Amino acid sequence: MTPSRKTLIIFCILLLVVYLLATIGNVREQGGITTASLFMVFSMAGLLFCWISLCRSQKEVLTCLTGLNTQVRRISQQLDPSRRVECGVRSDELGELAASINIMLDSLEASQSALSESEQRYRVLFERAPDSIFIMATEGADAGRIIAANRAATKTRGYEPDELYGKMFKEMNAPESRALGDELMERILQGEWSTGELWHVRKDGTTFPLEVNAGLLKIRGKSFILAFDRDITARKMVEEAGKMHVEQLRQLYSELTRKAQDLAAVNRELEAFNYSVSHDMRGPLTRISGYCQLMLDDTERLNPDFKEYLSRIYESSCWLDEMVDAMLELSQLTQAEFVTENVDLTCIVSELLSELTMAEPGRMLEAHLEPEVFAEGDFNLLKIVMSNLIGNAWKYTAGREKTCIKFGVQRNEQASVFFVRDNGIGFEMKNAARLFRVFTRLNASQQFAGNGIGLATVQRIVSRHGGKVWAEGQPGQGATFFFTLANDSSIPPS
């Protein structure tokens, strides 16, 4: 309440008191108090009391409102919604107003706490993101100027945070990426989310490739550029290595193709030469062996020494003739027509053993043949394979009291493995690779006949069927020859 108002109220009260006193004095002079006079006195006294009460209540209300205003202003200035206003213990409208203000402050405090927690989460995500994150201005000459950057952005480029803030993003573009960087920035400012690959320059001057993804972001009605980028050095290295490997593989493939073609041509020439030489040698060899045979038949005119020389020449010519036949047979294997069918190997082996037994009836044979062993392949070629393997088993068991030959198949997930096992003289495993060489023999030719080409023929036929052949053995304990075929069945047809 202002001083002037207080003075006016006091003056009015004094006038009212003077008026009452004068009225009472007049009543005494007239000799009595009338009803009207009493009503007037009491009315004036009531008005005085009401006036005094009203002034007191107004003072209390004004004091409380002033206190509330002061507290609210202090809370607003300090931005501290955790504080509460106080208005004493009141149950009137002022108390309700204070309670409403405190409820509003509770709500504001909860909202501020949630906002602070949300900002903290996003700040942690921003700082700990593995990719670089930039926030840049968009207005005028400041378009592209860095306002905020996370840890990954500073670490990748070798800058301190204070050095990076305020720097133009395009200043870090390498010379070869400036045009693309300007084009990318123009598309972003037009409202397009854009992706591109740039080269950036670190603080130490080195360059590195990165992939940028950026676009506009609005915060409280103001536009900013939000950019993510990732160092793609490792990916570029893999891509370059892949390109180098592809080129190397392409060159290697071309070289191998050329060499394969050259090798095929050489093989064709060798086969043609082999066939030609073998064929041309048969005539002279036949004449030599024929003349030797005629001369040996005329025993009366030959002295013993000359006859021995002729015998050696004849034997050598016969041996050479056998070698020529073997060479012709070997050269024709790759040229023969290949007809695939289901071949009964058990039947072939049985027939071969019957022929061998008939040729040498004195041999005691114990044969174990797995019944109905079939294979997919060329009948004539597979018969040559079995003839050579069974023939070898028969030949190298000649010195045994009983010849034991076993034929069968071992089935597994990859392929069926066919085998021929005998109880012959066997061989050293260190010499196993030499068994399949042309004209190579591990045993003395005087003890066992042969031309050293049988197992080489087996290997060539098995290879033509897409399989492989190998052998196992021990000296004096026999040998086992195994072979596979690419399209073997080994199951009898239904």
pLDDT digits (tens, 9 = 90+) for 423-450: 988 888 887 878 887 766 665 444 556 5
pLDDT number for residue 20: 61
Cα torsion 18, 23, 29, 31 to 10°: value is: -150
Q: Which of 277, 305, 328 is the last residue of a domain?
A: 328
pLDDT of residue 404: 94
At position 57, the amino acid (one-letter code) is S
Residues above pLDDT 90, as percent of the chain:
22
Is 346 in the same domain as 426? yes
Report the C-alpha gap between 105 and 83 in whole angstroms. Answer: 8
Residue 488: half-sphere exposure toward Cβ, Cα within 13 Å: 26
- Asked if residue 117 belongs to a domain, the reply is no
What percent of the chain is helix, strand and coil (3-state, nearest 5)? 60, 15, 25
Contact 166, 175 (CB under 8 A): no
Q: Is residue 124 part of a domain?
A: no
Residues spanned by the domain of 46: 3-28+37-111
Same domain for 375 and 414: yes
Position with higher pLDDT, 42 vs 360: 360
Question: How many angstroms separate the first and last alpha carbons of the chain?
Answer: 122
Contacts 24+ apart (CB under 8 A), 405-413: 405/353, 405/365, 405/366, 405/367, 405/368, 406/367, 406/368, 406/369, 407/345, 407/346, 407/349, 407/367, 407/368, 407/369, 407/370, 407/373, 408/368, 408/369, 408/370, 408/373, 409/370, 409/373, 409/490, 411/490
Q: Are β-strands 403-411 and 365-369 bridged in parallel, bridged antiparallel, or unpaired?
A: parallel
Q: Identify whether 471 is part of a domain.
A: yes
| Interval 348-354 mean pLDDT | 93
Give the residue among 479, 475, 477 at the shortest CA–CA distance from 455.
479
Query: What's the mean pLDDT in 33-43?
Result: 63
Residue 488 lies in a domain: no
Span of 47-61, 220-234, 306-320, 429-443 with lowest mean pLDDT: 47-61
> Are residues 175 and 203 located together in one domain of the fold?
yes
Which value, in Å, is the radius of gyration of the alpha carbons in the chain?
59
**Can you name the residues that pair with 225 across neighbouring β-strands?**
136, 216
Pick from 285, 343, 334: nearest CA to 314: 285
57 in the same domain as 153: no
- Distance, CA of 211 to CA of 230 (rounded, Å): 5
For residue 171, being part of any structural domain is answered with yes
Domain identity same for 164 and 297: no
Q: What's the mean pLDDT in 237-247? A: 83
Convert the pLDDT of each residue in 455-473 to its tens digit.
888 888 898 888 999 999 8
Is 364 in the same domain as 418? yes
The answer to whether residue 118 sits within a structural domain is no
User: Is residue 286 located within the same domain as residue 321?
Assistant: yes
418-439: b or e for each residue (b if 16 or more CB lie within 10 Å)? bbbbbbbbbbeeeeeeebbeee
- Greater confidence (384 vs 491) lies with 384
> Cα separation of 241 and 353, whole Å?
61
- CA gap 212, 444 in Å, rounded: 79
Whether residue 170 sits in one domain with residue 93? no
CB 172 within 8 A of CB 250: no
| pLDDT over 90 (residue 120) | no
* Residue 20 shares a structural domain with residue 104: yes
| CA separation for the pair 172, 200 (Å, rounded) | 5
